[in-house]
Amino acid sequence: MTSAVREWLNLGVRWFHVFAGIMWVGQTYYFTWLDGQFAKLEKNVSSGAAPSSVWMVHSGGFYTVEKKKSLGVGPEQVHWFRWEALMTWLSGMLLLFLVYYSSGGLIDTDVADISQTRGIMIGLAVLVGGWLVYDLAAQSRLSKSEGAFAGFAFIMTAAVGWVLLRALSGRAAYIHVGAMLGTIMTANVWFRILPAQRKMISAAAAGFHFDTSLSAQAKLRSKHNTFMAVPVVFLMISNHFPVATYGNRYSWAILIALVLVGWVAAKLIRSA
């Protein structure tokens, strides 16, 4: 592959990746905002006020949204929000191979004198292992406490960052922490949220009440995704600012600070 072809491929995939990510994150926060509005409406109902819809204005019209607990149409008429997450992750993985796994950006011999193959194995192990550890924690009692789960997530993210900054190049380490979070987000959508939604739709279509724990688990994973989205974007952008981030002597402290700032930002966005 010539350098010109590689650069055009890099540019095209990067554009696709960014645009798919915008669509995915935008949808995630839109429904987070909707849930917040309906939570306020449910409080009004409990206090005696009449139930209502969420009204919005956009472009050339007014829109209203109602939250239903039953399915009033056929399953084939229900719109799924799923492909944006998958396309974001697939294009991100392609970029990982283009920029790091098939080039010299993965290894820094001043950090660790390891082979490209070992570096790739470390990177892929972090992506898979990160999801497995997170998923087990999210299904454990730890997830019952928001503070405890956040503390666990912070410690694990900091530990992964510390190890990667001593195994890969600084730039690759930052990207792999972001890729790990992005992989967790995508796996949440495809392995936890969508299966729960399929069961909900099947039960509703058959005229049965669906298990409320399904919607609760899907909602929890969606909530986690909103908190991971902002640090992921921070870490991806950091590649363009080496002096301030991965090239800094305090690169590990800056990495975990970016994660913390991202969580705080996500909290503010969720409560807006």
pLDDT value for 128: 98
CB of 229 within 8 A of CB of 25? yes
pLDDT at 182: 98
Question: Would you give per-residue pLDDT tens digits along the chain (272 residues)?
Answer: 788 998 999 999 999 999 999 999 999 999 989 988 888 888 876 655 555 789 999 988 999 999 887 787 888 888 889 999 999 999 999 999 999 999 889 999 999 999 999 999 999 999 999 999 999 999 999 999 999 999 999 999 999 999 999 999 999 999 999 999 999 999 999 999 999 989 888 887 887 777 777 788 888 999 999 999 999 999 999 989 999 999 999 999 999 999 999 999 999 988 87
Distance between CA atoms of residues 233 and 146, nearest Å: 23
* SS3 annotation, 106-165: CCCCCCCCCCHHHHHHHHHHHHHHHHHHHHHHHCCHHHHCHHHHHHHHHHHHHHHHHHHC
> What CA–CA distance (Å, rounded) separates 230 from 258?
9
Task: State how far the Cα of 111 lies from the Cα of 101, in Å rounded to an integer.
Answer: 17
Q: Which residues contact 192 (CB under 8 A, 6 or more apart)?
A: 135, 138, 217, 218, 221
Count of beta carbons in the 10 Å neighbourhood of residue 191: 13
243 by DSSP, 3-state: which? coil
Q: Give burial (CB, 10 Å; 0-12/13-18/19+) of 218.
A: buried
Residue 130 near residue 180, CB atoms below 8 Å: yes
What tokens does 84 get? 């944006």
pTM (predicted TM-score): 0.93
pLDDT of residue 213: 79
Q: Say how far apart CA 245 and CA 258 lie, in whole Å.
A: 9
Distance from C-alpha of 51 to C-alpha of 11, rounded to nearest angstrom: 49
- Give CA 90 to chain center in angstroms: 13
Helix axes 170-187, 212-237, angle to 10 degrees: 160
Start-to-end CA distance of the chain, whole Å, equals 48
- Residue 43 is predicted with a pLDDT of 81
The candidate with the shortest Cα–Cα distance to 40, out of 67, 70, 71, is: 67
